[in-house]
């Protein structure tokens, strides 16, 4: 795959890196492969270094800013000369055979500035299976096109896979002030510059979600915060599937107030009804998934979805209350231009 720069943002991915790197090298021997490491404390760096000693096209790059967006930008600044395509490969995903070549072929066939792919979530342990079931369902993804395998189409957003490097540089790359939702923010700038985004259904990737409730909560709180930043940055309207989860934190707060006031104001307990309705819907949906798939773990999808909804809502509302920080202008990487 001559002319392709593959960037793998990485932080403590020793579990996934060996197989991922062996696959990338085997299928894309002519591509430049950069692992942008954000300060791993496990064996990730040594795994890359050992393979780089035998493969000149594999490069370990220090990413002091730690964020995925910053690592990809840095790799583009340092190693994109002479390349036409940028492929983003996330370390904790599984990819189909012929992935990189298929992305390039799809971009050429549809004259797309970017190619995105569907994402199907899988789990190993019981909680991870619950989270995966939630994320694969409308309860968890709101019907987003790239969270399902659908027919190929031009879309406004999807899971990032490939970019035309010239246009990636032209629009400034990722905004490094975003720890989450940097992909959706980038897609808005790409569309404004006339770039079209193709969703390629033939190349779905497999994603392994967080395997603990606390980690899932922190991830989705970050997603909510990032979405609020994106909407504020671009004055874009919020979509219905995003607006509904925003209401969850206020409903939970209203329920807590109702329970606290109930001993002195009996009818105050009625304030809890909306939140109870939400919880019933989520838990019932999970039970249906569990029965349908004969899986006790998948029956917990409703609980995982509740964690996701509440965290997203708290992140979104918290960011809206904080607002943009004064004195910090948008940090898209002008140095790429």
Work out the mean pLDDT of the chain and round it to a whole number.
90
Query: If you average pLDDT over residues 67-86, what whole number do you get?
Result: 95
What is the fold of 4-210?
A: Spore Coat Polysaccharide Biosynthesis Protein SpsA; Chain A (3.90.550)
Q: What is the DSSP string of 108-160?
A: HHHT-SEEEE-EEE--SSHHHHHHHHHHTSHHHHTT-GGGS----EEES--EE
The pLDDT tens digits of the residues spanning 151-182 come to 889 999 889 999 999 999 999 999 998 888 89
Closest of 118, 114, 92, 119 to residue 103, by C-alpha: 114
Neighbours of 10 (CB within 10 A): 30
Tell me if 204 sits within 8 A of 118, measured CB to CB: yes
pLDDT band for position 241 (cuts 50, 70, 90) = confident
Q: What is the pLDDT of residue 336?
A: 58
Tell me the two tokens of residue 265.
């104001």
pLDDT band for position 237 (cuts 50, 70, 90) = confident
Of the chain, the end-to-end C-alpha distance in Å amounts to 24
Tell me if 331 sits within 8 A of 173, measured CB to CB: no
Q: From CA 280, how far away is CA 270, in angstroms rounded?
A: 15
pLDDT band for position 59 (cuts 50, 70, 90) = very high
pLDDT band for position 315 (cuts 50, 70, 90) = very high
The pLDDT tens digits of the residues spanning 189-211 come to 999 999 999 999 999 999 889 99
Share of the chain above pLDDT 90, in %: 75
Instruction: Please report, for the chain, the start and end positions of each structural domain, with discontinuous segments joined by +.
Output: 4-210, 232-322
Q: What is the pLDDT of residue 148?
A: 66
pTM: 0.86
């Amino acid at each position: 795959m001559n002319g392709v720069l593959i960037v793998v943002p990485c932080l403590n991915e020793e579990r996934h890196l060996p197989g991922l790197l062996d696959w990338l090298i085997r299928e894309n021997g002519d591509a430049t492969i950069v692992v942008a490491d954000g300060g791993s404390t496990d064996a990730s760096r040594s795994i890359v270094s050992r393979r780089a000693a035998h493969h000149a096209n594999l490069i370990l790059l220090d990413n002091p800013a730690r964020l995925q967006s910053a690592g990809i930008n840095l790799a583009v600044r340092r190693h994109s000369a002479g390349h036409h395509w940028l492929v983003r490969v996330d370390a904790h995903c599984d990819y189909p055979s012929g992935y990189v070549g298929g992305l390039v072929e799809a971009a050429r066939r549809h004259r797309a500035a970017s190619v995105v792919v569907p994402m199907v979530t899988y789990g190993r342990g019981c909680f991870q299976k619950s989270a995966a079931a939630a994320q694969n369902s409308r309860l968890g993804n709101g019907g987003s096109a790239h969270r399902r395998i659908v027919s190929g189409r031009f879309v406004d957003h999807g899971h990032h896979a490939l970019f035309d490097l010239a246009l990636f540089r032209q629009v400034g790359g990722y905004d490094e002030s975003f720890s989450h939702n940097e992909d959706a923010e980038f897609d808005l700038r790409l569309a404004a510059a006339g770039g079209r985004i193709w969703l390629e259904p033939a190349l779905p990737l497999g994603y392994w979600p967080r395997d603990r409730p606390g980690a899932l909560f922190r991830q989705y709180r970050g997603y909510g915060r990032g979405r609020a930043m994106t909407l504020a940055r671009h004055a874009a309207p919020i979509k219905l599937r995003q607006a509904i989860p925003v209401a969850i934190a206020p409903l939970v707060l209203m329920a807590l107030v109702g329970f606290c006031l109930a001993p002195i104001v009996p009818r105050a307990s009625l304030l809890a009804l909306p939140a109870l309705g939400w919880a019933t819907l989520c838990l019932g949906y999970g039970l249906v998934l569990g029965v349908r798939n004969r899986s006790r773990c998948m029956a917990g999808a409703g609980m995982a979805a509740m964690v996701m909804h509440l965290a997203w809502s708290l992140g979104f509302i918290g960011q809206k209350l904080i607002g943009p920080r004064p004195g910090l202008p948008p940090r898209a990487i002008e140095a790429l231009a």
